[in-house]
Amino acid sequence: MDLYEYQGKQYFSRYGIPVSPGGVADTVDEAVSVADDVGYPVVVKAQVKVGGRGKAGGIQLAQDPQEVRRHAGDILGMDIKGHVVHRLWIERASDIAQEYYASFTLDRSAKKYLCMVSAMGGVDIEEVADSDPAAIARRHVDPVDGFSAESASELVAEAGLHEGAREQAASLLQKLYTCYVEGDCDLAEINPLIYTTDGRVHALDAKVTLDDNARFRHADWEEFSATETTDPRERLAKEKGLQYVGLDGFVGIIANGAGLAMSTCDVVEQVGGKPANFLDIGGGANAAQMANALEVINSDENVRSILINIFGGITRGEEVANGIVEAMGRVQIASPIVIRLDGTNAEEGRRILADHAAEGLESVPTMIEAARRATALAKEHRP
Amino acid sequence: MSIFVDENTRVVIQGLSPTGQGLYHGLRNRAYGTNVVAGTNPKRGGETIEGIPVFSAVAEAVESTGADASFISVPPPFAAEAVVEAAEAGIGFVVCITEGIPAHDEARVYNLLRRDFPGTRLLGPNCPGIISAGKCNIGITSGDIALPGGPVGLVSRSGTVFYQALYELTQKGVGQTTGVGIGGDPVPGLSFTDVLAAFEDDPGTKAVLMIGEIGGSAEEQAAEFIGAQLSKPVVAYIAGVTAPPARKMGHAGAIISGSRGTAKAKMEALAAAGVIVAQNPTEAGERMVEIVTAIRKDEGMTPG
């Protein structure tokens, strides 16, 4: 789960990482009121989960209430790379002497954490990595050993941060590590991390990705979930506990297992179709879950045929078949369904489905044939 | 022949209770022929469930039954400690199918095992398990989709594509030595490279089918290993060609960041290492049939 900047900063604050004083505003009036509280000058920042806000005009400096009013009015409702701005973060402006970069993430190939620090902050770090890799100081951190004060000091020196900034930066780095580990982040990134003209080091931006698997030990994440997703199909799927990613094609996909769901999307594309979504109903998919999945797919107006690809391991064929029949009784499924069922109790499942063949439900023996059939049906049903 | 587990492997099921997942899968594994010798449950030490003696800790189970492999399907909050308990008890092969373990727990356990328990191999988490066809099945794979006798070794990140691939081979009359589902999480225990190295050393395995997916760089590392050290033919399939960037495709590990982790990059790396890259699981099965047919023909012509 990606956090908005303001949420990331609130998260940082819990771990003692210094950020600028500020507040959230959803209207122009709120923006002025927050700005009055934090004190001028302020920066008005669009809250969207996409990079390039500054270039798009989504970050503006304001000296007084009139300027806040004008910028907030301009930015609210602005479309930044397909993300519409509904919320602003207003914070006290900082006098920046230098811009740095700091992050913790997992290096999957090394199977250790990776800490990166650079004196070249404020720009896309991937560009720095490409153009001047030596400008980034890196260190692998063994999760068993943890991140020592010595490592932090060495890194900030190695990265060439200003001498006056090093002690604060090293201390901040250790807090960022605690936030990354105890806060169960997949990514904790500060870009830029600034050194102000009056000698303070703090986070001017916050990019935080939380590990959804750790939700069970963070009751406080509930507030972040409420603002998480905007695609109505994805929101519905999430409510139903399904793994769903919306795509822009016309063949609705339901499969069990992430790999098989991806593979099904691939095969549909190979035979000339276009997947409308990725949907994994999970390992132990039962009747109710299948019904939920069909409901989600059915809510997508672009879907013109549905391909269900199930290979039973724990998932049992007759459960899947019953789920489809149940769903067809519960909601009016708008598109024809093609199903390929194999594995545990597949024959029993196919028998159940055969009784409903007349209702726009076809059973096809292999994955590729099923993909071809679903694609052909979608093309026939073109509106 | 087989790798990691065989007919002599003795399995303890951690977290065994009359209603849990562990019992359901454990009984299926036992029905396949796996030696399920013990269960553990801190509250049920001394009981017997479906003929399986229960101990309160793994160490006791090891002492009493000689268990050398363990099967973990406990919920995510308890899985990391279960793996550590198995390692401390001296278990050599731990299979953890639990889905949804926090990445930090995985990273900590992986590095702890490497430092303090080098004798313990961890398969998973979030994986289907391992099946040495006709000998031992630990995990959730349906035993009837595997065909004993080799000569193909199978290794997969995805669970259901693992089943699909086993099934394709079996349908075509091509047997397997061992199928290993390494799982799709960010920090898996055994990697492609670990499993490929074991297949290289197994005389019964003549060819390897590898199923990868988008995200991370495990397939690229495998390609490097194959190019340098694997003498046996490899067929590979990578799921997720059509996956959009920066979206998590079900598995926490299946996410493309920037230009890295794409199916295309992985397929190119594998092809460059001499691997036959198939476009879908069915084609992968077909390519493998061609290879096995050629191997059998060669063997048939070799005297003695």
- Give all strands of the β-sheet with A337-343 in edge-to-edge order: A243-246, A277-280, A251-255, A305-312, A337-343, A361-363
pLDDT at B304 over 50: no
Question: Both ends of chain A: CA-CA distance in Å?
Answer: 36
CA distances from A378 to A17, A268, A354, A366 (A): 53, 11, 21, 18
Paired tokens of B300: 């048939």
**Nearest Cα to Cα of residue A292 among A239, A245, A346, A225:** A239
Nearest-CA distance A304 → chain B (Å): 19
Q: Quick check: A8 and A207 in contact, CB under 8 A? A: yes
**A343·B158 Cβ contact <8 A:** no
Task: Give pLDDT, residue B105.
Answer: 97
Per-residue confidence band for B241, with pLDDT thresholds at 50, 70 and 90: confident
Spell out which residues of chain A touch residue B255, defining contact as CB-CB under 8 Å: none
Say what the pLDDT of residue B260 is.
67
Cα–Cα nearest to A322, from A364, A289, A282, A281: A289
Closest Cα of chain A to B241: distance in Å? 6
Q: Given a cut of 60, is residue B206 above it in pLDDT?
A: yes
Average pLDDT of the segment spanning A80-92: 92
Q: Which amino acid, B49?
A: I
Write down the catalytic residue from B251, B252, B266, B276.
Answer: B251
* Residues in chain A, total: 383
- For A277, the closest chain B residue by CA position comes to B243
- CA atoms of A22 and A91, how far apart (whole Å): 4
CATH 3.40.50.261 fits A232-380, yes or no: yes
CA distance B66 to chain A (A): 29
Is B279 within 8 Å of A270 when comparing Cβ atoms?
yes
Per residue in B275-300, pLDDT (tens digit) is 999 999 889 999 999 999 999 888 87
Does any CB of chain A come closer than 8 Å to the CB of residue B247?
Answer: yes
Report pLDDT for A359: 72
The percentage of residues in chain A with a pLDDT greater than 90, rounded to a whole number, is 64
- Residue in B110, B128, B243 closest to A111 by CB: B110
pLDDT tens, A194-206? 999 999 999 999 9
State how far the alpha carbon of A227 is from the alpha carbons of A73, B13, B79, in Å. 22, 41, 30
Residues A143-167 pLDDT 10s: 999 999 999 999 999 999 999 999 9
User: Which of B89, B63, B85 minimizes the C-alpha distance to B74?
Assistant: B85
Query: In Å, how far from its chain's centre is CA A164?
Result: 36
CB-CB under 8 Å, B214 with A216: no
> Are B142 and A313 in contact, with CB atoms under 8 Å apart?
yes
Beta-carbon separation of A108 and B218 below 8 A: yes
CATH number, domain A21-92:
3.30.1490.20
Strand intervals (E) in chain B = 10-14, 35-40, 48-49, 52-55, 69-72, 93-96, 121-123, 129-132, 136-139, 151-156, 175-181, 207-213, 234-239, 276-278
List the structure tokens of A266: 């691939």
Q: How many other CB atoms are found less than 10 A from the CB of residue A237?
A: 24
Q: What is the pLDDT of residue A12?
A: 98
Task: Calculate the dihedral angle through the C-alpha atoms of A240, A245, A249, A253, rounding to the nearest 10 degrees.
Answer: -50
Which range is least confidently modeled, A105-119, A271-285, B97-111, B283-297? A271-285
Pairing of strands B69-72, B10-14: parallel
Give the mutation candidate from A81, A263, A265 for the B interface (greatest B CB count, under 10 A). A263
Structure confidence at residue A346 as a pLDDT band (50, 70, 90): confident
Percent of chain B at pLDDT > 90 equals: 80
Contacts of A258 in chain B (CB under 8 A): 158, 184, 213, 249-251, 254
Q: What is the pLDDT of residues A282-294, one digit of tens each?
A: 766 677 888 889 9
- Would you call A101 a catalytic residue per the annotation? yes
Can you tell me the mean pLDDT for B96-112?
A: 96
Domain A96-224 of CATH type 3.30.470.20? yes
pLDDT at A55: 87
Domain regions of chain A by residue span: 21-92, 96-224, 232-380
d(CA A20, CA A201): 10
Query: Hey, of B163, B266, B286, which one would you mutate to test binding to chain A, going by the most A CBs within 10 A of its CB?
Result: B163
Q: Is the CB of A89 inside 8 Å of chain B's CB atoms? A: no
pTM of the model: 0.90
- Kindly tell me if the per-residue pLDDT of A8 is higher than 60: yes
* Confidence category of residue B253, pLDDT binned at 50, 70, 90: low
Q: Does B118 touch chain A (CB under 8 A)?
A: no
Chain B contact for A57 (CB, 8 A cutoff) = no
pLDDT in tens, B33-83: 999 999 999 999 999 999 999 999 999 999 999 999 999 999 999 999 999
Q: Does B249 sit within 8 Å of A261, measured CB to CB?
A: yes
Amino acid A1: pLDDT? 87
Measured between alpha carbons, how far is A350 from A364 in angstroms, rounded to an integer?
A: 10
Using DSSP, state whether A196 is helix, strand or coil: strand
Q: Is B10-123's fold the same as B129-301's?
A: yes
CB contact under 8 A, A214 and B249: no
Arithmetic mean of pLDDT, A243-254: 92
What is the structure's pLDDT at B184? 87
Percent above pLDDT 70 for chain A:
97
CA A167, A169, A170 angle in degrees (round to 5)? 65
**Residue A329 neighbours by CB under 8 Å, 6+ apart:** none
Provide the CATH topology of domain B10-123. Answer: Rossmann fold (3.40.50)
Q: What is the pLDDT of residue B303?
A: 47
The answer to whether B156 contacts chain A (CB < 8 Å) is: yes
**Residue of B28 and A282 predicted with greater confidence:** B28
Nearest to A259 among B115, B184, B187 (CB): B184
Dihedral sign from CA coordinates of B22, B25, B28, B29: negative
Per-residue pLDDT averaged across A191-220, rounded?
Answer: 95
Among A344-353, B195-204, B287-296, the range of highest mean pLDDT: B195-204
**Which among A91, A99, A189, A318 is annotated as catalytic?**
A189
At B115 the pLDDT is 97
Give dist(CA B91, CA B66) in Å, integer: 10
Domain range list for chain B: 10-123, 129-301
Range with lowest mean pLDDT among A35-39, A373-377, B93-97, B139-143 = B139-143
Q: Quote the pLDDT of residue A242.
A: 87
Helix A163-182 to helix A5-14 angle (10° resolution) is 90
Say what the pLDDT of residue B257 is. 58
**CATH value of B129-301 in 3.90.1150.10, 3.40.228.10, 3.40.50.720, 3.40.50.261:** 3.40.50.261
Determine the average pLDDT of the residues in A365-381.
92
Task: Report how far residue A83's alpha carbon sits from residue A335's, in angstroms, rounded to the nearest whole number.
Answer: 30
Spatial contact of B236 and B212, defined as CB atoms under 8 Å apart: yes
Contact B141, B196 (CB under 8 A): no
Neighbours of A1 (CB within 10 A): 17
**What is the structure's pLDDT at A290?**
85
Consecutive H or E run containing B105: helix B103-116
For testing contact with chain B, the best of A105, A111, A248 (most B CBs within 10 A): A111
B104:A143 CB<8 A: yes
B99 touches chain A (CB under 8 A): yes
ipTM of the complex: 0.89
